[in-house]
Structure formats: structure tokens, C-alpha cells
Amino acid sequence: MIAMSEAPAGQVEQGLRLSTPVTEVDGVGPARARRLASLGIRTLNDLLRHLPMRYQRELAEGSIADLSMEGIASARGTIVNTRVMGGMGRGKGRFQATLKDHSGTLALVWFNADFLRHKLHAGMVIRVTGKVKAFNSYPQMVNPRWEAIETEAQAPTAAAQERLRPVYPATDDLGSPVIEGLVAAVLPSLLPQVVDPLPAELCRSHNMPVLAEAYRMAHRPGHEDEASAARRRLAFNELLLLQMGIAIKRYFNESRLKAPALRWSEAIDGHIRARFPFELTEAQQRVVRDITGDVQRSAPMNRLLQGDVGSGKTVVALYALLMAVANRMQGAIMTPTELLAEQHYLSISRMLEGSNVRLALLTGSLGSQSAGRARTLEGIAEGKTDIVIGTQALLTESVKFADLAVVVIDEQHRFGVLQRAAFRQGNATGTSGGDAAIASPHYLVMTATPIPRTLSLTVFGDLDVSTIDKLPPGRTPITTRLVGPEKTDDVYRYLAQRLGRGEQAYVVVPTIDAAGHESATQLKSVHEHVALLADKYCRGFKVEAIHGRLKAQTRESVMEKFRAGKVHVLVATTVIEVGVDVPNATLMVIEHAERFGLAQLHQLRGRIGRGTHGRKSVCVLVAEPTTDEATQRLQAIAGTNDGFKIAEVDLQIRGMGDFFGTRQHGLPPLRVAQLPEDLDLLKLARRDAEAVVRADPGMIDPSHTLLKRILVQQYGKTLGLIDVG
């Protein structure tokens, strides 16, 4: 077995620190330093954390006749002949040799290596190491490593023993063996400097190696068990830090933040429900119970509501907002698009018609200087507005609430995760020094993209989760058809037929106008399609465009006409992806469907199939997929209406990093831990983190000092841990 001190003698530098630049190591000049930097390696600490992606077994030296075809083998013998094939003088020739020992012969081939004719000669004794293949039923090694040895009888050196060789992420001009050599040279100096942030007790109880030992085992494992123990420990490290960050934040929310405890009574409940034009479904009732339970406490609610497109999240949100109003405080709902804010404003206005609840709409389109905007801001600041509906404009500095009690964030997946924190309060119940409570509203975060378990434990780990798992009654499932562009004519004739029956339709295209847009692919555009439909297929019907570049007023009036049935076809970009709710619209055509993401297609499709009128809703995807991934996406969307299944497929196709915008969540990436594979470790880490925080929330115990420092370093900003102190 290889001991960790086995680094080649003479190369171990004295005085190497974790912070030392790699350029101080023997053999690292400017060129190599550049290559290392391209792998993210600048200091010895980076090098230490540059972990092997896998290991290759190198077998102990054996006689030629016994060479195994599995793994990397070594043998020694005498060269009996050599030969250069082709490419003489240009360094491109192939060098061949035959190696013989007491048991048999082995063919050796090196490509692009005719220089070897100066180094290897018949009669030399060498040891070779490489993969053995059968060539014309003789064993052969291609491009083996070799070293000259004195005699065939010389004892094998350490390198000739069976071992696991690390295979590092490398580049074309910086191979894994070079990295292996560098690591081997510095590891003995570095390991004693590695301090373990985890209390030793914790490592012991999980049967995990301490950190320095884990690094040793990762870089120079004695056997497979060591390699996997190292991986487990290093993955646990990352997950524990993440979970600690989340646990501290959660603790902080619960102990230091103070939200108004809202009063709830049967009478209030009755008043609120009287506003809804329908009975809540069982699933909605359950979520309302979760929410009323939360908001009656003075710890801020932090709840994620997930429910598929059309599952009826809006009324549940309205319930929460009206709880604030019933307590003479304010509520706000934030949406990712202006159109959705406008939609909510209209539908909530309708439900609250005749009540004395005062609503305001606040979006970026209300010019920042306009008198209307100033009045709106004043109403919000003076508590004359009860419910504010808006976009991210709600987060701008000029928006100050008199006494905000409930915040709803709709379609959370369209925002970054951290926007929740940024609402401004005028009514702080204390200053933020010492132990005084910090005022916070209750938060309800909503999404139609179900969150896989791993994400709800990580990125969204500080949220409680409620799910609406059933659609409201009377829905007819949407039929989704997948057709090629050659069917366009049929599709629009069908669309016209349905308009003739008094139904309405959406046509979704990827761009507003084709001009100047990726001319090569000729994308269909809103303007082009309005003209095409109005002039050719839908004569006698009214076709209008809707997209993000229209003025808010125009957009509102187009939507109003569509809702009233005065406009029959809406040609749109993806602005209608969220929130638009017109039950009489039963047909949707999506052009260039291959260009849209899976969740996006599902959201778009969710605009139809909304009425209780019992008419069949159809979504036609016009697509010409050119990649496997696009084909998979389209098949998945055509194959199911179940948002949870679609989210799973999406996660499979895209992988963790991309899914759900987790790239923008701001948390440091996991380098070792693999999710969802390491879900068990994640749960273990969560349990430990919660226990540590429960026992020592301020992390003042000396055994937690280092952990705390690392936490603040890595997660301080993104999780707002700085405030935690």
C-alpha cells in the first residue's frame, strides 16, 4: 500500500502553505500555471480541493503470460527487437518493440514516438505499465509508460505494487498524471494544515474520517473503500455547511424576526369566503388551514405553495392577503410580469367588488415620475391602500409600506430565491441592534413548478411546503398534439373552425417581429402571424397582438377585449405564460415549440382548459425538433398533463444545475455531493445541522468557531447570515 509520505523524495518543498500560489511548486512555470488556472487551481488549497473524478486500478507487476486485460498492468522483461514504422524524422512515426520474459512475449507500440529509437534498444531491461489488449491474439500494450531497470531480477519498487491511481479532471495540455505528481509533491506538507470544521465527535459518530484524512484518502486511496469513505466525508462537509446555513437562517427567522400575529375567527373566515365565486376544493381548504395556522403566530410564515397550473392558487393567496386586511394591515402580491400583475389586479378587483378593500397596482410601466405613481406610493406609505399588486417594482426603494403583514410572491420560480427578504417596512417594532425583534411580514411563495425533494431540502430549505394536488372540479383535460410545420395550413383551418363555434384561441410565437432576428432560422413572429391570420384564415374574426413591448394600457385593453369575447385570437409571445385566465379560450397553437422549455410549454398550455364549460381544449405544438433533447421535451409534454411528472422529466433532461433557475440562487455550487443521489447524506446533514443550531444557535461554543467562520464566508451574503451575527 502507498503511504501518504510516498511523494518523490527531494520534491517536497518546505514552508508550503494552503495559500501558497502553485507557481512556488517545483516544475510549475508560467505555462503550466496558466493551464492550472484554467482548471481553477491557483493556490495549493485549490490543488488540494481538485479531487479525482475516478480511480484506475494499477495491478501489481506480473509475468507476461499472466497479464490481465482488466485495469492497468505492469510487466518487466528484455527488449528483443525494435522497429520504427513510417514518418521518420518528423516525430510522427510509430515505434514498436518486443518485450520478452521467462513466460512469454509482449508487443509494445508507441504512436507518434519515433524519437524512442534513441532511447530503447534491444537488450535493455525495462518495466512497462499500461492497458493490455489482444492484438492478433498476442498481448500488446499501446503507449505504455516505461522505465529502465538494471536487471530483470531487481525488486519491484513501490510503484510496481498494485494500487489505485487517481484520475483528475485535466485538460488536453495538462494531463492527469502531471496533476497527480504535483499533488503527491505537496500533500505531505499540506495535510497537517487542514483543520476540520466539524466537531471531532460528529465525525466519530458517523464513522467518517477527519478532514485531513479524507483528503489523503481522496488523493491517494489505499483501496476502493478509502476512496468512497473520502468522497462521503467531503460530500457530507458540503451538505452540512449548506444545511447549517439554512438551519441558522431558519432559527433566526423564528427567534429574531417578528411578524404580526393575525387574528382569525369564524366570522373573518366567513367574510373572506363570501368573496369567492366558488367553494374551495379540499386541497385548497387544506392549504388555507396551513396558512391561517402560520399567520396567527408571531414567527413569520415562510411557506411555499406549489400547485400545478390552474390548480387555483390565486384564491388561496387572496385569502392570505385578506387576513391582513381583516386585521387592518396591508398585503402585497408580487408577480414576475406586468401582464400577470394586471391580470391579478383585474380578477381580485372583481372578487372584491362592492367591498371597501382598497387595491393598488404598481408596475414599472407607471412612469417613475408620474403623478399617478406618486399617489399610489403615498397610499401605500400612509396605509390608505390595503392590497398592493405589482411586479418587482414593489421592491424599489421608494415603496414603503405603512404596515405590511402578508406578502405573496407568485410564480416564484421566475424570480431568484432571495428576493423575499427585500420588502421595506415603515413599522419596525424595534431597532436591529441587540436582541430587539426585527419586523417582518408573513411570506407565501407560490409556484407551478413542483420542487423536487432535493431542492426543497436545499435551495428552498428554509420554507414549509404546502401542495394543491388536485385541480378544481369540472376541468376537461387538455389534448396536446404534436405536428410538423408542413401541417400549418391544416392547423389554422382547424383554428378558424373552432372560432366559428364561438370559441377563442391563443397563438404563441417566439418573437415579436422577424426583422433582424436570426435570419437563418426564419422565426415566426407576432406581427407576421397577426397579418397571416387576419388576412387568410380568420377573416371575419378579430385578431390582436399582445407582447411585452406594448404599453401597459394597450395591453390591458387588448386583454379586456379578449376576455369580453370581442377579440377572438390573441397572437402572443410568452408574456401570456403565467396568469392569463380566459375560460372561453380553448385552443392554443404554439409555433416553434422546440424552442421552448418544458416547464414553459406546460405553463403556456395551462392558459387553456380552464373553463367548466365542458368543451374540449386542444394545444397544438408546431415543431421541428433538431436535437434529442428537444424531441424528449416535446414527447414528454404531449404525453402527460401532470405537472409533477413534467418537472421530473425536466430535472432528468436538464440536471440539477439548470432546473428551477437554481443557477441564480446564489448558493455556492456543490462540488462533491451529487443530488439527488446523495439524498441520504443530505438528510443526515440536515438532522445534524438542526441539532447543532438548537444546542448552540449563536455558534459560540469553541468547537463551532471554525464552522461559523466558514459559514459566514460561504453563505453569509446569500443567506443573509450577516444579520445573524
Task: Give contact residues for ligand ADP (rule: CB under 6 A).
Answer: 278-281, 284, 307, 309-315, 448, 472, 581, 610
In the numeric block, which cell numbers belong to residue 717?
Answer: 451574503
In whole angstroms, how close is the CB of 408 to ligand ADP at the nearest point? 11
Which residue matches cell numbers 485535466?
170
In whole angstroms, how close is the CB of 386 to ligand ADP at the nearest point? 20
Determine the Cα–Cα distance for residues 532 and 152; give it in Å rounded to an integer.
85
Determine the Cα–Cα distance for residues 479 and 273; give it in Å rounded to an integer.
33
- Nearest CA to 99 among 73, 72, 121? 121
In the numeric block, which cell numbers belong to residue 135?
Answer: 492484438
In whole angstroms, how close is the CB of 476 to ligand ADP at the nearest point? 13
Phi–psi pair at 301, nearest 5 degrees: -65, 140
CA dist 284 → 317, 344, 387, 684, 725 (Å):
10, 18, 21, 32, 39
The string of DSSP codes covering 414-474 is: GS-GGGGGG--BS--SS-SSTT--EE--EEEEEESSPPPHHHHHTTTTT-EEEEE-SPPTT
Considering beta carbons, is residue 576 or 699 the nearer one to ligand ADP? Answer: 576
Considering beta carbons, is residue 448 or 567 the nearer one to ligand ADP? Answer: 448
In the numeric block, which cell numbers belong to residue 209?
Answer: 474520517
In whole angstroms, how close is the CB of 24 to ligand ADP at the nearest point? 59
In the numeric block, which cell numbers belong to residue 322?
Answer: 385578506
CA-CA-CA-CA torsion sign (416, 420, 426, 429): negative
Exposed/middle/buried for residue 431 (C-beta within 10 Å: 0-12, 13-18, 19+): exposed
In whole angstroms, how close is the CB of 510 to ligand ADP at the nearest point? 23
In whole angstroms, how close is the CB of 303 to ligand ADP at the nearest point? 15
Under a CB-based contact definition with an 8 Å cutoff, are residues 496 and 537 in contact?
yes
Considering beta carbons, is residue 221 or 579 the nearer one to ligand ADP? Answer: 579
In whole angstroms, how close is the CB of 359 to ligand ADP at the nearest point? 17
- What CA dihedral angle connects 516, 519, 522 and 526, to 10 degrees? 0
- Nearest CA to 646 among 469, 448, 459? 448
Considering beta carbons, is residue 344 or 373 the nearer one to ligand ADP? Answer: 344
Element (H, E) at 588: strand 585-591
Determine the Cα–Cα distance for residues 552 and 338; give it in Å rounded to an integer.
8
In the numeric block, which cell numbers belong to residue 710?
Answer: 466558514
Considering beta carbons, is residue 41 or 451 the nearer one to ligand ADP? Answer: 451
Under a CB-based contact definition with an 8 Å cutoff, are residues 323 and 406 in contact?
yes
Element (H, E) at 689: helix 679-695
Neighbours of 725 (CB within 10 A): 11
Considering beta carbons, is residue 281 or 302 the nearer one to ligand ADP? Answer: 281
In whole angstroms, how close is the CB of 311 to ligand ADP at the nearest point? 4
Considering beta carbons, is residue 211 or 352 the nearer one to ligand ADP? Answer: 352
In whole angstroms, how close is the CB of 587 to ligand ADP at the nearest point? 17
In whole angstroms, how close is the CB of 280 to ligand ADP at the nearest point? 5
Considering beta carbons, is residue 115 or 278 the nearer one to ligand ADP? Answer: 278
Determine the Cα–Cα distance for residues 305 and 228; give it in Å rounded to an integer.
38
Determine the Cα–Cα distance for residues 81 and 106; give it in Å rounded to an integer.
11
Under a CB-based contact definition with an 8 Å cutoff, are residues 447 and 411 in contact?
yes
Considering beta carbons, is residue 214 or 508 the nearer one to ligand ADP? Answer: 508
In whole angstroms, how close is the CB of 448 to ligand ADP at the nearest point? 6
In whole angstroms, how close is the CB of 343 to ligand ADP at the nearest point? 8
In whole angstroms, how close is the CB of 616 to ligand ADP at the nearest point? 17
CA dist 197 → 211, 231, 433, 702, 711 (Å):
8, 17, 29, 11, 10
In whole angstroms, how close is the CB of 604 to ligand ADP at the nearest point? 12
Give the residue at shortest CB distance from ligand ADP: 312
Determine the Cα–Cα distance for residues 303 and 313; give it in Å rounded to an integer.
13
Exposed/middle/buried for residue 238 (C-beta within 10 Å: 0-12, 13-18, 19+): buried
Element (H, E) at 552: helix 552-563
In whole angstroms, how close is the CB of 347 to ligand ADP at the nearest point? 7
Under a CB-based contact definition with an 8 Å cutoff, are residues 435 and 362 in contact?
no
In whole angstroms, how close is the CB of 468 to ligand ADP at the nearest point? 7
In whole angstroms, how close is the CB of 610 to ligand ADP at the nearest point? 5
Considering beta carbons, is residue 323 or 682 the nearer one to ligand ADP? Answer: 323
Q: Which amino acid is at 133?
A: K
Considering beta carbons, is residue 315 or 545 the nearer one to ligand ADP? Answer: 315
Considering beta carbons, is residue 212 or 272 the nearer one to ligand ADP? Answer: 272
Considering beta carbons, is residue 284 or 511 the nearer one to ligand ADP? Answer: 284
Helix (H, G, I), strand (E, B) or coil at 197: coil
In whole angstroms, how close is the CB of 336 to ligand ADP at the nearest point? 13
Determine the Cα–Cα distance for residues 232 and 685; give it in Å rounded to an integer.
12
Considering beta carbons, is residue 127 or 313 the nearer one to ligand ADP? Answer: 313
Determine the Cα–Cα distance for residues 179 and 169; give it in Å rounded to an integer.
9
Residues 6 or more apart in contact with residue 364 via CB below 8 angstroms: 338, 391, 392, 393
173-176-182 Cα angle (round to 5): 100
DSSP category for residue 478:
P
Considering beta carbons, is residue 256 or 313 the nearer one to ligand ADP? Answer: 313
